[in-house]
Structure 1
């Protein structure tokens, strides 16, 4: 006799699938911004957050469609957190390769743009130097930047999911 039931998807399998998809989209978007010199535009930076939010909502929708229409709040949090870690891994590895091997002047341009912004904001030379010293120390360099990128994106995915999962959850009835 043939088994006709399909196994339910797991939060991890959905998170991996959508994490890879959203991660690839994010990397392509970042490449476009970096190649065109638009990465310093704050409005275009918000598009990345929009991509992440849409990805989480679509992942939750997919999970519910393949899980009898149900998803608990915790499952929603788990999906988004794992997605964030995967997206962070892809994005951080891309950024590391781009900054260190493709466009070695990227970091210097970023620091110069920050200095220009501080000057236009009217800070004194002493304040600018102090801010630039802190900025230079805080910029993660080397492979540690990959670890920070993974942790930061996973944490941000979790924070977004705290709100998104509240809207997308659909708990299974207790007495079904």
Structure 2
């Protein structure tokens, strides 16, 4: 009896769910430490590193469970599935966060942005500041598709590089 081959879909689903859960836990950690609205780029860098490591682990473990074989196509499929699953779960969580968990999320975000704008440009007029914040509030929805696109781009390039490094195809002869 031949051993059952692993599927890219299964690995993508498992690791995509893991990435989303870790991202959600990270968000709650930021909330607990009062850093949710902190403008530091470190948060984004840490989230990106976590996501990249999970994509790499998914591909590596797939190869390990696939008799040490991995094609570039399999690597890209796993990366795409991880990114899509993590994004969908993350988007649902983001909606819940901004609607139910922190109902005044966008108002708090605007206040944090106001403080940053004043700090970076102390001579800004109150009218200009209000106009900028009002314009920003009209485009809050952009975070949802941007999150999806960023995860797909990062997932694709991570899977591409990882697949090129770990690629090993079966000898059919």
Query: What interval of TM-score do these two structures reach, taking the shorter chain for normalisation?
Result: 0.7 to 0.9
Report the equivalent of 1:88: 87
Report the equivalent of 1:36: 33
Report the equivalent of 2:139: 138
Contact 1:89/1:149 (8 A) holds in 2: no
- Give, in whole Å, the separation in 2 of the partners of 1:72 and 1:43: 34
Structure 1 unaligned regions, length at least 5: none
Structure 2 unaligned regions, length at least 5: none
3-state SS of 1:171 partner: coil
Q: How much has 1:175 moved relative to structure 2?
A: 4.8
Report the equivalent of 1:19: 16
3-state SS of 1:140 partner: helix
Report the equivalent of 2:151: 153
Contact 1:69/1:170 (8 A) holds in 2: no
Query: Deviation digits for residues 21-52 of structure 1, max 9, x if unmatched?
Result: 12111111112213432122321232111110
Equivalent residues, number: 169
Matches within 5 A, 1:68-79: 68-79=67-78
Contact 1:60/1:76 (8 A) holds in 2: yes
Q: How much has 1:89 moved relative to structure 2?
A: 1.3
Contact 1:86/1:150 (8 A) holds in 2: no
Report the equivalent of 2:117: 118
- Give, in whole Å, the separation in 1 of the partners of 2:65 and 2:154: 26
Query: Deviation digits for residues 60-119 of structure 1, max 9, x if unmatched?
Result: 111100112121222211111110111111111112112111211221111111121122
**Root mean square deviation of aligned Cα:** 2.4
What is the aligned counterpart of 2:3 among 1, 6, 9? Answer: 6
Structure 2 length normalisation: TM-score?
A: 0.84
Report the equivalent of 2:102: 103
Contact 1:84/1:157 (8 A) holds in 2: yes
- Give, in whole Å, the separation in 1 of the partners of 2:160 and 2:124: 41
Query: Deviation digits for residues 5-32 of structure 1, max 9, x if unmatched?
Result: 3211111111011111121111111122
